[in-house]
Amino acid sequence: MVTQNTSNTSVPIYKQVRDSLEEMIETGLLRSGGLVPGERELAEKFGAARGTIRQAVNCLVREGLLVRLGRKGTIVSPATHSRNRTDTWGVVVPILHYFYQMLLTYIEIDARNQGVGIHLACSYDDVDLEREHVWRMIEAGVKGILIAPAWPGKRTHESLEYFADLPVPVVIVDHWGADLPLAGVDCVLSDKFSGAYQATVHMIRHGYTKIVLINGSQKATSYEIRELTKGYAKAMEDHDLPLPPLPDISQSEIRRDQKNVIAHLDWGAEAFVIPSDTSACSAINALHSLGKRVPDDVAVIGYDDEPIAKIISPMLSTVRVDKREISRRATELLAERIQNGHGGRSRSIVIRPTVVARETCARNCPEYNRNEVSEIEYLRETAGLQKIEKK
């Protein structure tokens, strides 16, 4: 840090220090969200007493240019703009594949359309790494954070509550965020109950009566699985259909120990509702190895509408989570919080998924649209990707 001139005796020294610190913030020498050096270091740099430094810092805290974070120290307010800085948002996800591939694409496009850059990090479902990424982003000066928290089965609710205490706005982007007892944190969620309900009803409309939900344990602690199970069970109840009188099938049993799958087939299972397209593809292969053809002998419907759903043969019927709408609503919420302040009542926006009928639910499904536009084709047509590729 450059030593500042505090020899102007017509202005109180604390005021000179305060003005010098503000200049450093405006020019980016002290980064938005970054830690401010301690009193001892500042006292040495400015040639002033520590009490004078404390007075100058307290002045900037009152004015909102600095923020105290307890033991962590004092940071430059993330809401503070330097003269040479482009706004950046942090984005933290637990994995970089499956559902999050396309969601991240939409978030980048929506942020770019608002003139905002993206600072991306992956927690790999590690809670400590997630927290480390979040604080590094804040210290780097992000104005807000979109986060899909690490898998809830590996953490307590208490470990999530720090989101509400961060000095920047946070929007949770994930299907299980509704289970979080957080005040002051916005969420944009996918309705898993509705998705499982619709998938089950779609199978019922094809005439199937013995329908099995994979990984549908009522005892599961994951909010996602609980909502899927409730949606499936409600659809079966509403149509007076019995649940399988057998232990639940986990997704791991599809690929390894298939005794439970065979038991359900012996019971007469006609259709499987599977909460992942990847697991649904594995199930199709497993069923084939057991001599069962899809959809002639047993039907399958997946979840998420990942790109693989249109690649396999037969093409996978699935539940589409509207990642484009999740991104749009989440980025709008974050931009609004950044603009107007991130205090006040939190908001939860629930996005309803839809069934995409293809070939694994039944032969010649009347809802199958053979001219459907894939998600990547849609992106090229609507998000300017064709123009980008041509440049």
Mean per-residue pLDDT over the chain, rounded: 84
Mean pLDDT of 144-159: 78
Mean pLDDT of 249-273: 86
Q: Residue 251: pLDDT above 80?
A: no
Q: Which range in 154-163, 214-223, 343-352 is most confidently predicted, on average pLDDT?
A: 343-352
Q: Which residues contact 362 (CB under 8 A, 6 or more apart)?
A: 206, 295, 299
pLDDT tens, residue by residue, 62-94: 888 888 877 778 888 876 655 545 689 999 999
Residue 381 pLDDT: 62
154 — pLDDT class (breaks 50, 70, 90): low
pLDDT tens, residue by residue, 265-324: 999 999 999 998 989 999 999 999 999 999 999 999 999 998 889 889 999 999 999 999
What CA–CA distance (Å, rounded) separates 67 from 114? Answer: 26
pLDDT tens, residue by residue, 121-148: 999 988 889 999 999 999 888 999 999 9
Instruction: Write down the pTM of the prediction.
Output: 0.74
Residue type at position 241: L
**Chain centroid offset of residue 136 CA:** 18
What CA–CA distance (Å, rounded) separates 74 from 95? Answer: 32
- Assigned token pair, 265: 């087939």
Provide the H-helix boundaries in the chain: 13-27, 39-46, 50-62, 99-113, 127-140, 192-205, 223-238, 251-255, 259-267, 277-289, 323-340, 375-382, 385-390
81-90, 91-100, 235-244, 346-355: segment of lowest average pLDDT: 81-90
Q: Residue 217: pLDDT above 50?
A: no
Cβ 290 vs Cβ 262: under 8 Å: yes
The pLDDT > 90 percentage for the chain reads 42
DSSP 86: -
What CA–CA distance (Å, rounded) separates 191 from 21? Answer: 48
**Domains of the chain as residue ranges with CATH:** 13-76 (1.10.10.10), 88-190+323-347 (3.40.50.2300), 192-321+356-381 (3.40.50.2300)
**279-290 per-residue burial string, b: 16 or more CB within 10 A, e: under 16:** bbbbbbebbeee
- Assigned token pair, 173: 């982007």
